[in-house]
Structure formats: structure tokens, C-alpha cells
Amino acid sequence: MISKIGFKELHGCDLYLSSSSKSQSEILEFKQYNLSIQNLENTNYRNNMFDYITSLSVIEHSINIEKYFKEMN
């Protein structure tokens, strides 16, 4: 969706990326992104790399909210 409104150089990360955990349509969509397996509480993205960050279905999965918001900041 965000690529359709003009965002470029999209990155995504998840703890697990496997074809068994994603629907076929999600796998096809993912080909547009630079994906990596990472913990959102401690990523290897450089500081100030992103202009915008979105996060879907994360907070309800028992993350350390302080570490998460510090990393996203």
C-alpha cells in the first residue's frame, strides 16, 4: 500500500520469514521490499536511516515496549 502512494526504498523486518507463515499474496507483495530477519527491539539499521516507520501487529506480541520505542526513535 505505501509503495502505491510514492514511498521508495522500502524495508521490512520480522523475526521469522518463511513461506509457511505467509499467504501466497503476501509472499508476492514482499518481492518489492528489502526484507531481513531481525528483532525490532534491536535492529541493525543505521541511525536516521528512515523518514517514516510503520509497525503492524507488533505490540501485542510480548515485546519490551521501552526497547521497541527506543529503537524506533
Report the first-to-last Cα separation within the chain, whole angstroms. 23
CA–CA separation, 5 and 15 (whole Å): 27
Average pLDDT over residues 8-14: 84
Better-scored residue on pLDDT, 55 or 1: 55
Q: How confident is the model at residue 18 (pLDDT cuts 50, 70, 90)?
A: low
Output the pLDDT for position 31.
59
Helices vs. strands in the chain: H and E counts, helices first: 2, 2
pLDDT in tens, 25-68: 444 455 567 888 888 899 999 999 988 888 887 778 788 989 99
- Report yes or no: 29 and 50 within 8 Å, Cβ to Cβ: no
pTM above threshold 0.75:
no
- Report yes or no: 15 and 46 within 8 Å, Cβ to Cβ: no
Domain ranges of the chain: 3-72
